[in-house]
Amino acid sequence: MNAVISQLPPLLIVIPLLGALAALLLGKWNRAFAYPISLAMIGFQFAVSLVLMESVMDGDVIHYYLGGWPPPLGIELVIDSFNSFVLVVILALALLTAVWAHKGADLDIVPEKKVSFFVVFQLLITGLCGMAVTGDLFNLYVFLEISSIAAYTLVAAGRNPRSLIAGFNYLILGSIAAGFIVIGIGYLYIATGTLNMGELAVMLPAHYGQTTVYAAFLFMMIGFSIKVAFFPLHLWLPDAYTEAPAAVTILIATATSKVTAYAMLRVIFSVFTLQYVTDSFPVTELILIIAAIAIIAGAVLAIAQDNLKRMLAYSSISQMGYIMFALGVANQAALAGGILHIMAHAVMKGCLFMVAGMIIYRTGFTAIRQLSGLSRRMPVACAAFAIAGASMIGVPPTIGFMSKYYLVLGAVEAGEYLAAAVLLAGSLLAAVYIWQVIEVMYFGDIHDEDLGGGLEAPASMMVPVIILAASCLLLGIFVELPLEVVGPAAAMLLGGG
Amino acid sequence: MIPGILPLLAITIPLAAAALILATGRHMNLRDSVTLGAAASMVIVVLAMLPEILAGGRIGITLIPLLPGGDLALRVDALGMIFGIVASVLWLLNSLYSIGYMRALNEHDQTRFYFCFAIAIAAAIGIAFSANLVTLYVFYEILTLITYPLVVHVGTPEAMQAGRKYLAYLLGGGICLLAATILTYTLTGTTEFIPGGFLAGAGAAALSLQVIFLLYLGGFVKAAWMPFHAWLPAAMVAPTPVSAFLHAVAVVTAGVFGVVRVAGWVYGVDLMADLNLGVLLAVIASFTIITASLFALAQDNLKRRLAYSTVAQLSYILLGVSMLSTAGLIGAVIHIPFHAFQKIALFFCAGAVIVGAGRENISDMKGIGRKMPVTAVMCAAAAAGICGLPPFCGLVSKVYLTIGAVQAGELALLGVIIVSAVLNVAYFFPIIHTMIIARPSDDRALDTVTEAPLIMLVPIILAVTASVAFFFFPATPFLDLAEIAISDMSGAGMP
Amino acid sequence: MENLLVFIATRYIYIMTIILVMIGLYALIAKKNLVKKVIGLNIFQTAIFLFYISFSDVDGGTAPIYLPDGVSATYVNPLPHVLILTAIVVGLAITAVALAIVVRIYEEYQVTDEDGLQEVMKRQ
In A, minimum Cα distance to B140 occurs at A396
- Interface test mutation site (partner C, options A113, A164, A219, max chain C beta carbons within 10 A): A164
Enter the DSSP assignment of A161.
T
Q: Which residues of A touch B186 (CB under 8 A)?
A: 409, 412-413
Among A335-339, A440-444, B93-97, the range scoring the smallest mean pLDDT is A440-444
In C, minimum Cα distance to A150 occurs at C97
CB contact under 8 A, A171 and C98: yes
CB contact under 8 A, A424 and B178: yes
For residue C79, pLDDT over 80 is answered with yes
Q: Does B67 touch chain A (CB under 8 A)?
A: yes
* Cβ atoms A422, A315 nearer than 8 A: no
CB contact under 8 A, A409 and B182: yes
Position C39 scores a pLDDT of: 93
For residue B72, pLDDT over 90 is answered with no
State the pLDDT confidence band at A141, using cuts at 50, 70 and 90.
very high
Work out the number of other CB atoms within 10 angstroms of the CB of residue B425: 16
More confident residue, B464 or B3: B464
HSE, CB side, 13 Å, CA atoms: give it for residue A303: 13
For residue B206, pLDDT over 50 is answered with yes
What is the domain-level CATH number for residue C88? 1.10.287.3510
* DSSP helix/strand/coil, A446: coil
Chains adjacent to C (≥3 CB pairs closer than 8 angstroms): A
For residue B185, pLDDT over 70 is answered with yes
Q: Which residues of A touch C83 (CB under 8 A)?
A: 138
User: What element of type H or E holds A422?
Assistant: helix A417-443
Q: Nearest-CA distance from A359 to chain C in Å?
A: 24
List, for residues B118-143, the tens digit of each pLDDT value.
Answer: 999 999 999 999 988 999 999 999 99
C44: nearest CB among A145, A149, A179 = A179
* Cβ atoms A103, A48 nearer than 8 A: no
* Cβ atoms B159, B119 nearer than 8 A: no
Q: Nearest-CA distance from C6 to chain A in Å?
A: 20
CB contact under 8 A, A443 and B138: no
How far is B130 from B133, CA to CA, in rounded Å? 8
Position A451 scores a pLDDT of: 65
* Cβ atoms B27, B145 nearer than 8 A: no
Find the largest Cα–Cα distance for chain A: 72
Q: Which residues of A touch C90 (CB under 8 A)?
A: 142, 145-146, 149
- Interface test mutation site (partner A, options B22, B64, B66, max chain A beta carbons within 10 A): B66
CB contact under 8 A, A142 and C51: no
Angle between helix A162-192 and helix C2-30 axes, rounded to 10 deg: 160
For residue B279, pLDDT over 80 is answered with yes
Supply the range of the domain harboring residue C60.
2-123
CB contact under 8 A, A156 and C108: no
CB contact under 8 A, A412 and B182: yes
Among A79-93, A326-340, A421-435, C4-18, the range scoring the smallest mean pLDDT is C4-18
List, for residues B381-413, the tens digit of each pLDDT value.
Answer: 999 988 888 888 888 889 999 998 888 887 888
A395: nearest CB among B67, B145, B183 = B145
Interface ipTM:
0.91
Q: Does A145 touch chain C (CB under 8 A)?
A: yes
Q: What is the 3-state secondary structure (H, E, C) of B303-338?
A: HHHHHHHHHHHHHHHHHHHHHCCHHHHHHHHHHHHH
CB-neighbour burial class of residue B202 (10 A; exposed 0-12, middle 13-18, buried 19+):
middle
CB contact under 8 A, A412 and B163: no
Q: Which residues of A touch C104 (CB under 8 A)?
A: 156, 161, 164
Contact residues, C window 89-108, toward A, CB-based 8 Å cutoff = 90, 93-94, 97-98, 101-102, 104-105, 108
Chains adjacent to B (≥3 CB pairs closer than 8 angstroms): A
Position A352 scores a pLDDT of: 94
Q: Nearest-CA distance from A161 to chain C in Å?
A: 7
Q: Which residues of A touch C32 (CB under 8 A)?
A: none
Rg of chain A taking only CA atoms, in angstroms: 21
Q: Does A152 touch chain C (CB under 8 A)?
A: yes
List, for residues B16-54, the tens digit of each pLDDT value.
Answer: 999 999 888 788 888 888 889 999 999 999 988 888 888
Q: Nearest-CA distance from C82 to chain A in Å?
A: 11
Position B3 scores a pLDDT of: 67
For residue B447, pLDDT over 80 is answered with no
Q: Which residues of A touch C102 (CB under 8 A)?
A: 168
Q: What is the pTM of this model?
A: 0.91
- Interface test mutation site (partner A, options C35, C90, C124, max chain A beta carbons within 10 A): C90
CB contact under 8 A, A183 and C48: yes
B172: nearest CB among A333, A406, A428 = A428
List, for residues A352-388, the tens digit of each pLDDT value.
Answer: 999 999 998 888 888 888 888 888 888 899 999 999 9
State the pLDDT confidence band at A351, using cuts at 50, 70 and 90.
very high
Mean pLDDT of the region C6-32: 86
Position A171 scores a pLDDT of: 93
CB contact under 8 A, B185 and A478: no
CB contact under 8 A, B179 and A425: no
Position B494 scores a pLDDT of: 43
- Kindly report the CA angle at A23 between A21 and A24, in degrees rounded to 5? 65
β-bridge mates for residue A65, sequence order: A76
Q: Which residues of A touch B178 (CB under 8 A)?
A: 405, 408, 424
Mean pLDDT of the region A155-165: 87
Q: Nearest-CA distance from B40 to chain A in Å?
A: 28
How many contacts does A have with B, using Cβ atoms within 8 A? 66
Position A449 scores a pLDDT of: 63
Q: Is A331 left (phi over 0), alpha (psi -120 to 50) or beta?
A: beta
Q: Report percent pLDDT > 70 for chain A.
A: 97
Domains identified in chain C, total number: 1
Buried b (16+ CB within 10 A) or exposed e, A258-268: bbbbbbbbbbb
Position A411 scores a pLDDT of: 92
Position B495 scores a pLDDT of: 40
B183: nearest CB among A402, A412, A477 = A412
Highest mean pLDDT out of A283-287, A296-300, A439-443, B71-75: A296-300
List, for residues B284-332, the tens digit of each pLDDT value.
Answer: 999 999 999 999 988 888 888 988 999 999 999 999 999 888 888 899 9
Q: Which residues of C touch A146 (CB under 8 A)?
A: 90
* Cβ atoms B70, B135 nearer than 8 A: yes
Q: Single out the residue of A178, A172, A235, A153 nearest to residue C34, CA to CA.
A: A172
Q: Which residues of A touch C52 (CB under 8 A)?
A: 186
Position B208 scores a pLDDT of: 86
Contact residues, B window 173-192, toward A, CB-based 8 Å cutoff = 175, 178-179, 182-183, 185-186
List, for residues A443-467, the tens digit of each pLDDT value.
Answer: 877 766 666 666 778 888 899 999 9
